[in-house]
């Protein structure tokens, strides 16, 4: 990758690129590197290993937390063109929580080391301001999850999750165990099994071992609406 | 309040004060004003009315969200010396949630209008960077609440809440209804009543109408430890 194509790619990720000083641009170009994560590999496991800023070229990253009981709760997903801020959480003293990141598909990113990124937002108000927006965006996702968890409308949450997965995977036949679904929704397997069986009895899904087939997408969509803002 | 005392008070709240330009300092001094909120009054009710940045001189502000069912869940509290960022949430495009703020005690703040504050963080990287830390701090509090809600260890959460309230109010005899406690913890009144009666049977509290008296603080502290990181 030459310097010119790197600069134009970074400019695509950073709306503040044109406002950076020439030395700062050169430093970012010098330190950016390509990283590849095969599907289902862990990218980041909390604050103990500070990775840096990730600019997602292709693929999909899932951000989640682990509960005390070892359950996972999906917070949000990042796609091509998105910036992953929380892999650089060590850049901020006040981040006192651990987010886990996993590549859900084969994922390719541009990596910027944490110290270089820190220097960038220390020097440039537009870069720091944009970082505020990135953080606010992640914050908003988490607030939505918190509201979902509190609202306890598990039927609507499950329906919304199945529709989202179906859209992401581009199939109505999802390869998912009840355990996996429970992890995504921060619930227990037994609760999910009960709810899925209820969905099946309503003709919304067909269950086979390790699979959930969506048989009434309009019906699931109606149900999901209750859980969406 | 004269300009010199205002400048020194703003410098106490803003660690980046000395790095601001002279015109920016003068603009902040020109637009800052004192506001007073009597105990139990609403300060902010989500994004519809963008208030601005609040620098807390004295008192206590409680930040909470409302669930769909109309229950309240306390996210965090702010005290003298703290900065309330989310009353200026309109400054950030990516904040897509509504936080409510109430003065828990008689509260006096310095108020900075949202457009002035926005100008400040657009011009000054240190100001924008500090705003990142404020947002990260609020984010961390909310992540902690989310973990508490997920962990479902309601006994430990209730014990932690009672000890915290007792420390804040500086009394072991709390004036609180079961309904109010349920609102704070995002739970239902019946669940709280059951748990409080269990606490009473264990000798941890004594219940009278509208009051919870802490009778075994060390015991409550032991119980609370389970819910604390």
Query: Cβ contacts (< 8 Å) between B153 and chain A: which residues?
Result: 68
When comparing pLDDT for B48 and B133, which is higher? B133
pLDDT band at B186 (very low <50, low <70, confident <90, very high): confident
> Cβ separation of B128 and A133 shorter than 8 Å?
no
- Residues of chain A with Cβ-Cβ distance to B92 below 8 Å are 132-133, 136
pLDDT of residue B68: 64
pLDDT digits (tens, 9 = 90+) for A59-98: 999 999 887 666 778 888 899 999 999 999 889 988 888 8
Question: A229 to chain B nearest CA, in Å?
Answer: 10
Please provide the average confidence, as pLDDT, over all residues in chain B: 89
pLDDT tens digits for range A100-143? 999 999 999 999 999 999 999 999 999 999 999 999 999 998 98
Helix, coil or strand: residue B32: coil
- Reported as a pLDDT band with limits 50, 70 and 90, residue A176 is very high
What does the alpha-carbon distance between residue B158 and residue A13 come to, in Å, rounded to a whole number?
45
Contact with chain B for residue A149, Cβ under 8 A: yes
Q: Note whether A122 contacts B: Cβ–Cβ < 8 A.
A: yes
CB contact under 8 A, B146 and A149: yes
Which residues on B lie below 8 Å from A124 (Cβ)?
Answer: 125
HEC assignment per residue over chain A:
CCHHHHHHHHHHHCCCHHHCCHHHHHHHHHHCEEEEECCCCEEEECCCCCCCEEEEEECEEEEEEECCCCCEEEEEEEECCCEECHHHHHHCCCCCCCCEEEECCCEEEEEECHHHHHHHHHHCHHHHHHHHHHHHHHHHHHHHHHHHHHHCCHHHHHHHHHHHHHHHHCCCEEECCHHHHHHHECCCHHHHHHHHHHHHHCCCEEEECCEEEECCHHHHHHHHHCCCC
Contact (CB<8Å) B147/A92: no
- Using CB atoms, which residue from A65, A96, A122 is nearest to B125? A122
Structure tokens, B173: 């005899």
pTM equals: 0.76
A73 touches chain B (CB under 8 A): yes
Cα-based distances in Å from B37 to B61, B107, B108, B111: 10, 5, 6, 12
Q: Measured between alpha carbons, how far is A175 from A192 in angstroms, rounded to an integer?
A: 15
DSSP output for B65-115: EE-TTS-EEEEEEEETT-EE-GGGGGG-TT--S--EEEESS-EEEEEE-HH
pLDDT for residue B228 is more than 50: no
Residue range A21-37, pLDDT digits in tens: 999 999 999 999 999 99
């Amino acid at each position: 990758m030459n310097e010119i194509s790197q600069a134009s790619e970074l400019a695509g990720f950073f709306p503040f690129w044109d406002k950076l000083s020439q030395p700062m641009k050169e430093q970012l170009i010098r330190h950016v590197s390509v990283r590849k994560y095969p599907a289902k590999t862990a990218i980041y496991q909390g604050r103990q290993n500070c990775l840096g800023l990730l600019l997602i070229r292709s693929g999909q990253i899932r951000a989640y937390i682990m509960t005390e009981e070892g359950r996972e709760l999906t917070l949000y997903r990042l796609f091509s063109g998105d910036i992953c801020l929380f892999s650089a959480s060590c850049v901020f003293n006040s981040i006192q929580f651990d987010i886990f990141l996993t590549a859900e598909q084969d994922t390719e990113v541009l990596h910027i080391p944490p110290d270089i990124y820190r220097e960038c937002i220390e020097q440039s108000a537009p870069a720091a301001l944009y970082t505020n927006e990135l953080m606010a965006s992640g914050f908003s996702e988490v607030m939505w999850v918190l509201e979902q968890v509190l609202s306890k409308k598990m039927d609507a949450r499950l329906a919304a999750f199945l529709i989202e997965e179906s859209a992401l995977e581009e199939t109505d036949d999802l390869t998912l165990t009840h355990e996996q679904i429970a992890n995504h929704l921060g619930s227990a397997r037994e609760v999910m099994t009960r709810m899925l069986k209820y969905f099946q009895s309503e003709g919304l899904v067909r269950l086979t071992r390790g699979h959930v087939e969506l048989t009434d997408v309009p019906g699931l969509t109606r149900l999901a609406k209750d859980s969406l803002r």
